[in-house]
Structure 1
Amino acid sequence: MKTTCILILFWLLYMLLLSEESQTSKTEVKCNFTEKNYSSIPADINQDVTILDLSYNQITLSIRDTSDLQRYLLLTELYLIENNVVILYNNSFGNLFNLKILNICRNSIHIILQDAFSGLNKLEQLYLCQNKILQLNPDTFVPLKNLKLLNLQGNLISYFDVPQLFHLELITLYGNPWNCSCGLLNLQNWLNTSNVTLENENITMCNYPDILKCYSIKTVPYKAECYSKLSSPIIEDLYINFQSISNLTFNSSLNNFTRNSEHEPLGKSWVFLVGVVVTVVITSLVIFFAIKCPIWYTFLRSYNHHPLEEHEAETYEADFTGYPSSLSQISDANSEETTVIFEQLHSFVVDDDGFIEDKYIDSHELHEEN
């Protein structure tokens, strides 16, 4: 009797599972809107859609589009291949709790905000191939607890810090300009110690430095110094620097859309450069005017003059008045030379008032003496 009851119970349970599977298969709804030249999410989509294909359109996945997507709660697959998506905003797929496959390949994505994939707890496959992604924040993948496949092929990623609790089965990384300096050591360790499979490992090559271009990112040999210190992103890498500038530009333009954007301080190297240029120009002008305008020396020398004292004036008067008597004794043969000397000395002869003309003599003192 007990055996019969157990068999009946198992039979009922089996029939119940079959009915649920059949009901699930019957409720699967596919909507294909490919190559319709849509610029936004169309409004005539069945609310019960489970597989939605919007590939080969002009959709930007703006904030309005993301809010429209929240209505399709039963969606399990979403395809946005070859659209005009540039930014993945926070909570872009917030209410799509049942989504398992998300394909956004062949767009122009270069910014993915940290909470872009928030709410996708059941997502298993994520395709971000052939975009313009420069760098990925590892915290972006934290909500994707069931992610098994990640495709990042054909982007501009040079460094990738593997997030914690990342349990992928397949990852695609080829077609990126990988910087195989010490900063990529953590990624290599994860690829070699986890159960993940690196697709097309033989063509997932280093792009920098030149000496390591012939190595795969999974087999590149690292020096002992890379193991003795914590690995960090390579700041001198061209792509990392470009990413910082790109993020700064994006953050300044995204203030009207999100409160989570971060601002980076501007460097002051340009201030130093401007100061050097101005200093060189001013120094050059000073040297030029000093050479081309010697009249400056005259003005500088004039400041060394000082009013003559009374005993100095009498001495100069006595000295200069004695010259005419000596000049009268010079022969006629040297008359021309005498004339020149007399004219030169005549300029120093004092006036009738007994004072040497000097522009620095105080006019008030002169008036009192008169």
Structure 2
Amino acid sequence: MAAACLLMVCGLLCAWSVGTAQPCSLNRQGWADCNGKSLLHAPSSLPSNITSLDLSFNSLVMPRHGTLLMHFPSLHSLNLSSNALLVLSPAVFSNLGALHLLDLSSCSIAYLHRDAFQGLGSLHTLLLSNNSLQELEVPFFLPLKALFQLDLQHNALVSVDAGSLQVMEAVPQVRLEGNPWVCDCTVYPLRRWLQRRQAVQVTCASPPGLRGREVAALDSQDLGCPVKQRFPRGASTAPQITAVTQGNTTTPPTGKGGRSWPYLVAFLVAAISISILIALAAKCKLVHKNFASYRHRPLPETSSTGGSPMEDSSSWDRGSSGLEASESHSTPGAADLQVDDDDGFIEDNYIQPSEQLPEGEEREPHLSI
């Protein structure tokens, strides 16, 4: 009897130890189901070659440093949904390079570190729905090179910056429904992004006047953003005026009217400078012309014997009267000489020595007498 009781106790202890050591169920495909086992950590007794692990509805504790699942490098699918993870530490999944699907929905995550998904270069699907995310940073998406589906439904997102939207352009499927989007000017990049993607209905949560309306269907007046309106050029000869419309009121632009005065000043300075240069050039030319006319004098006539101009002028004055008196007795040779002098050239040695010699001989007998 005592032996039978001892055997029964040993069997119960063995069964309890086995159940405690392996709370998860395994199948032949390498899938491990640890759903709802109140686990604080992943069981270390699981085979290291499993490809799928379900740890949903547990009480997992995220490590502050290091990785969450150190012994399962072959995982392709990991379900951590419905665990109070709150914050994901940097590189917590860095050892899961072969992971294709990561389910982090309903984990009350309020903040994602920029390096939270470092090492997940092969991740295909990321499920982050039903969390408390308020913003998305660009570095958060950078390690996810192969991401195809991103689920961000029912978070606390009120707006998304243009940089994050640009990075999400490479993700074919993005779910953004159920977030409390604030439909003002900050949602304008999201509206353009939704129009390009032709996404499903993403509605506004505030302000009350736009609650329930699709973000992609809103226009600038609905969002209350300033719109630039340009008047046609032919409507007026005045410069173009740009008006800013805010709601139902139109106010003139501030700070843009004074931008044209530097160009006007530069134009006036250039015009004045060119006028001064033209005036100076004209004045210098006129002064040079007057100076040249002031120095101009007729060339003096020189005698055939090369005498000085003063002597020629005096001899011309003295001989003018005698020339008039003897004009009637002038010989034809003198007339010919005058005609020859009209050509403007002065010949040196006009009277040849051969002609002077007979004249001298004629004069000598006359002197002897």
TM-score normalised over the length of structure 2: 0.50
Q: Which has the higher contact order (CA 8 A, sep 6+)?
A: 1
Greater Rg over alpha carbons, structure: 2
TM-score normalised over the length of structure 1: 0.50
